[in-house]
């Protein structure tokens, strides 16, 4: 399911700042989800710099993190050997009972992805699929491996119409959302910019 297309300006912005700035911060500036920025950075071949990975922004745990609260060797936890045995089981769900808000098969749920809302339908318990995929498969059969169902246009009123759905390969979907959507001269500019950024980092690392 394709999301918002990336512009040349957004790609250039990501190339310039991805290596040294938190992905969550970049996501807010670009108006996209952190996952969307991370996945697009992978498609562009971008990586975090060594300096960033060593910094606090990377969120990596240091060796002494939590050392004060760890159990010391030879000290047993207070609940060692104890088993959960509630005095009163009246507040627990009986076997086979389900909460009142449990959805039913065929229920529709609206979820947000990259600022866009998509409808999902419950097939069985704990199994939800996009509604437009259900509509397509009901008419055409299972989606083949390596293919996905996408919208021909993103108009809300057309979303779940069968004639607005098409089956494309994942490779084609990637092409629609990566550098290949740009003219050759713009692709070359972005690649050159990326190479320049990598060389600058290599020079910094040798100092």
* Its pTM surpasses 0.75: no
- Sequence-distant (6+) residues with CB within 8 A of 191 are 179
For residue 201, give Cα distances in angstroms to 51, 198, 206: 9, 5, 9
Q: What is the pLDDT of residues 100-146, one digit of tens each?
A: 556 678 888 888 766 678 888 988 877 888 999 999 999 999 999 88
93 pLDDT above the threshold of 60: no
185 vs 130: which has the higher pLDDT: 130
91 pLDDT above the threshold of 80: no
- Band of pLDDT at residue 1, cut at 50, 70 and 90: very low
> Measured in Å, how far apart are the chain's first and last C-alpha atoms?
45
Contact in structure between 103 and 111 (CB atoms under 8 Å): no
Contact in structure between 179 and 193 (CB atoms under 8 Å): no
Tokens of 64: 């002494």
For the chain, state the CA radius of gyration: 25
């Amino acid at each position: 399911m394709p999301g918002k297309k990336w512009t040349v300006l957004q790609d250039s912005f990501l190339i310039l700042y991805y290596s040294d700035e938190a992905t969550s911060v970049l996501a807010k500036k670009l108006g996209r989800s952190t996952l969307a920025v991370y996945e697009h950075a992978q498609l562009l071949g971008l990586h975090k710099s060594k300096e960033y990975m060593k910094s606090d922004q990377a969120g990596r745990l240091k060796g002494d993190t939590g050392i004060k609260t760890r159990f010391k060797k030879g000290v047993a936890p207070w609940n060692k050997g104890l088993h959960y045995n509630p005095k009163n089981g009246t507040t627990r769900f009986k076997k086979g009972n389900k909460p009142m808000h449990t959805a039913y098969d065929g229920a529709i749920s609206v979820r947000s992805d990259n600022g866009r809302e998509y409808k999902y339908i419950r097939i069985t318990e704990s199994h939800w699929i996009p509604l437009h995929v259900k509509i397509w498969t009901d008419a055409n059969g299972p989606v083949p491996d390596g293919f996905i169902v996408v919208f021909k246009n993103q108009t809300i009123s057309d979303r779940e119409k069968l004639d607005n759905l098409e089956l494309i390969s994942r490779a084609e979907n990637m092409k629609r959302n990566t550098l290949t959507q740009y003219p050759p001269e713009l692709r070359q500019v972005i690649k050159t910019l990326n190479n320049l950024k990598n060389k600058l980092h290599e020079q910094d690392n040798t100092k």
